Amino acid sequence: MGKIILYGILLSPPVRAVLLTLHELDLEFEFVEVNPLKGEQYNEEYVKKNPQHTIPLLEDDGQCISDSHAIIAYLCRKFGKTDSLYPKDFYKRAIVDNRLHFESGILFARCLKGFRSTSETLENKLKNIEEAYDFMEVFLADSTHMAGNNLTIADLSILPSLSSLDLIVPVNSTKWPKLNSWLDLMKKLPYYEEVNVEGLRLIAEMLKPMLESMIAESKK
């Protein structure tokens, strides 16, 4: 097996999605810090590897792949001992892919907007986050996991963004009972503490002033 290198920082939800998948697949890897808060994603060497200058970036035996969704699907295809994390069945895989695109286009996009100061009103940001929670409540209507009744990369992709958004809009068990139970279930993953908790602590610390003013504003 070639050497796997993951570039990024724990603060980033898509980096954590890749870390969760590497742990779930029990793969050895090297973690190299590339910190966008210090502008390190623009280093010449890094941009050669990833012209889109995003984290995460995975290097497997010298071959580079960017975008967490492409990376975690690749890891499962190449290293998964079974197809449970990324099913081969066409329909089941389509449902997993749907959730990956949901994470990319809706959940993570709304997560970024939620954490950044933009021209969008706070009311609108919160409404959009709550709507994303409503969608996931529907995903979970007849199943224990985001795509069926077992753990897939749909869960590992959604977990870091959702748990980060939970800092702004708590996943209330009355409003989103299934989503709340799913989050509790995910917290039992053996590598959850190591991968996700530190990332969330870093986000909470970095965003403390912003979160305090958002909470104050939302109470007005």
Ligand X SMILES: N[C@@H](CCC(=O)N[C@@H](CS)C(=O)NCC(=O)O)C(=O)O
The 10 Å Cβ neighbour count of residue 214 is: 19
Binding segment for ligand X (CB under 6 A), chosen from 63-71, 83-91, 125-133, 193-201, is 63-71
Which letter does DSSP use for residue 36 in this model? G
The span from the CA of 155 to the CA of 189, in Å, is 11
Q: Which stretch binds ligand X (CB under 6 A): 48-56, 90-98, 118-126, 172-180?
A: 48-56
CA–CA dist 60, 77 (Å, integer):
13
Per CB under 6 A, 155 contacts ligand X: no
| Residue carrying structure tokens 């897939």 | 152
Interface stretch with ligand X, choices 22-30, 49-57, 84-92, 132-140 (CB under 6 A): 49-57
Using an 8 Å Cβ cutoff, are 88 and 94 in contact? no
Interface with ligand X, residue 104, by CB under 6 A:
yes
Minimum distance, C-beta of residue 19 to ligand X, in the bound complex (Å): 12
Interface with ligand X, residue 110, by CB under 6 A: no
Among 10, 20, 55, 165, binds ligand X (CB under 6 A): 55
Size of residue set near ligand X by CB under 6 A: 12
- Please give the structure tokens belonging to residue 29: 């890897």
Determine which residue in the list 7, 10, 16, 41 makes contact with ligand X, applying CB under 6 A. Answer: 41
Determine if 97 is a binding residue for ligand X (CB under 6 A): no
Task: Enumerate residues 17-36 that contact ligand X by CB under 6 A.
Answer: 36
The CA distance from 112 to 98, in Å, is 20
The answer to whether residue 143 is catalytic is no
Pick from 4, 7, 14, 168 the residue near ligand X by CB under 6 A: 14
Q: Which of 4, 6, 10, 12 binds ligand X (CB under 6 A)?
A: 12
Q: Which is nearer to ligand X, 33 or 123 (CB)?
A: 33
Residue 54 touching ligand X (CB under 6 A):
yes
What is the b/e burial string over 127-143, where b = at least 16 CB atoms within 10 angstroms of the residue's CB?
ebbeebbeebbebbeee
Interface with ligand X (CB under 6 A), residue from 53, 92, 93, 175: 53
Which distant-in-sequence residues (6+ apart) come within 8 Å of 14 by Cβ?
Answer: 8, 54, 55, 56, 67, 68, 108, 160, 161
Name the token pair of 59: 């290097």
Q: State which of positions 176-205 bind ligand X (CB under 6 A).
A: none
Residue 60 CB: number of other CB atoms within 10 A? 20
Supply the residues annotated as catalytic: 12
In the complex, the residues that contact ligand X under the rule CB under 6 A are 12, 14, 36, 41, 53-56, 67-69, 104
